């Protein structure tokens, strides 16, 4: 059943030894967990850049009200955008994201 998660050489080595199969699966799990953590960190960092991008006149979450405005102040364009932890739509879609931990602390502080 679990042998489908292993490569051919791992399957041959572990077919006669269940403890080797468990060790190989745990190693594979650790690698996948690390890969997930790295991807979630990339999503978190890219989301931060998107939400703070001063060149935008809005974003998908807040809307684009300022996009058609003819009075664009240069100071408005240069300043970084403020956002709340709950604005992290992409990061918060994963239960293991760093944003989930930050949001839970933020909610505890508000309570």
Burial class (CB in 10 A: 0-12, 13-18, 19+), 111: exposed
Cβ atoms of residues 54 and 78 within 8 Å: yes
Q: How far apart are CA 83 and CA 56, in angstroms?
A: 14
List per-residue pLDDT tens for the chain, 111 residues long: 555 666 666 666 556 788 988 999 999 999 999 999 999 999 999 988 888 876 666 677 767 666 666 555 555 555 556 777 788 888 888 888 888 887 788 788 887
The structure tokens listed for 78 are 């240069």
Q: Which residues of 10-43 are buried (b: 16+ CB within 10 A; e: fewer)?
A: beeebeeeeeebeebbeeeeeeeeeeeeeebeeb
pTM, whole model, 2 decimals?
A: 0.64
């Amino acid at each position: 059943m679990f042998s489908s998660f292993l490569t051919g050489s791992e399957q041959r080595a572990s077919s006669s030894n269940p403890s080797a199969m468990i060790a190989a699966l745990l190693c594979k799990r650790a690698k996948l967990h690390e890969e997930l953590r790295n991807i979630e960190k990339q999503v978190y960092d890219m989301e931060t850049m998107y939400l703070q991008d001063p060149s935008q006149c809005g974003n998908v979450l807040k809307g684009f009200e300022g996009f058609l405005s003819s009075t664009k102040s240069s100071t408005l364009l240069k300043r970084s955008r403020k956002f709340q932890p709950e604005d992290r739509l992409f990061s918060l879609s994963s239960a293991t994201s760093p944003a989930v931990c930050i949001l839970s602390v933020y909610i505890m502080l508000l309570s």
